Amino acid sequence: MKLLEGGRAGQIWRDGDTVIRPSGAWTPTVHRFLGHLRGRGFPGAPDPIEITGNQEVVSYVAGRVCEDLSDQFVGSERMLLSAANLLRNFHSASQGFLESDREVQTWMLPPQEPYEIVCHGDYAPYNVATADHAAVGIIDFDTAHPAPRIWDLAYSVYRWAPLSDPANPHVTFGLDEQLRRAEIFCTAYGATGEDRLQLPDMICRRLQALVDFMLANAAAGDETFVEDVVAGDARLYLSDIDYIRRHRDRLLNALC
């Protein structure tokens, strides 16, 4: 077996064509959802295999995963376009699960009304597999939860533009390029005019929900979230909320 790098260091392993990961109370629901995606003909997600004790086994999604948008391979416009297309196709395949699944559904993140589809919840470069300079697969569905499409789109634009203060560590692009990339992503996804008008405020809502979730779980003693808060993640998201609000008019102008 090979230890995979990334989130939850030391806990995710590749064994041939499968991946062994920690499971949670939400994992049975996520496995049924992954089965739904496969049934809808979406090839870019892991296949659910089994849940044993506190571990799950899913198929390995082939491709290169890289978080650093300064990497020309990951940060290219071609990759940006394909990432938006992949998200749109995933959302289309997601439709129908909430209505057709007859079992009790449990999610890690709180559902958000209206319950249009099951969103991925963390559609960022580090959760997208790439090949031939294109996004081809999505990994880590722990954060999947019911929400409107724009809830997922908002977080995805935030991550792929990325709409983060250039003064922050690891931020590659200045504001002008961020705005250009945000518009490219929205156009490739097929965002409507109404979506675009809602997006700045929805991104801030999405980030605030993330901060609230992190702080609540850290206060409850969850070591992963305690570490994230100590590392300054919550503070960084709050800083990005302020950054987006300060440039809200410019973002709206770029999108609309």
**pLDDT at residue 3, as a whole number:** 61
Residue 172: pLDDT over 90: no
CA distance 156 to 250: 19
**pLDDT at residue 9, as a whole number:** 55
Residues of the chain with pLDDT > 70: what percent? 96
In the predicted model, what is the mean pLDDT of residues 36-41? Answer: 97
Residue 210: pLDDT over 90: yes
Q: Are 94 and 37 a contacting pair, CB within 8 Å?
A: yes
* Contacts of residue 237, Cβ cutoff 8 Å, sequence gap at least 6: 207, 208, 210, 211
Residue 112: pLDDT over 90: yes
* pLDDT single digits (tens) 54-105: 999 999 999 998 888 988 888 999 999 999 999 999 999 999 999 999 999 9
In the predicted model, what is the mean pLDDT of residues 22-41? Answer: 97
* Domain spans of the chain, in order of start: 2-59, 149-256
The DSSP annotation for the chain comes to: -EEPPSSSTTS-EEETTEEEEE--TTHHHHHHHHHHHHHTT--SSPPEEEEETTEEEEE---SB----TTSHHHHSHHHHHHHHHHHHHHHHHHTTHHHH--SPP--SSPP-SS--EEE-S--SGGGEEEETTEEEEE---TT-EEE-HHHHHHHHHHHHTT-S-TTSTT--S-HHHHHHHHHHHHHHHT--HHHHHHHHHHHHHHHHHHHHHHHHHHHTT-HHHHHHHHTTHHHHHHHHHHHHHHTHHHHHHHH-
6: pLDDT confidence band, cut at 50, 70 and 90?
A: low
**pLDDT at residue 73, as a whole number:** 87
10: pLDDT confidence band, cut at 50, 70 and 90?
A: low
Q: What are phi and psi of 222, to 5 degrees?
A: -70, 115
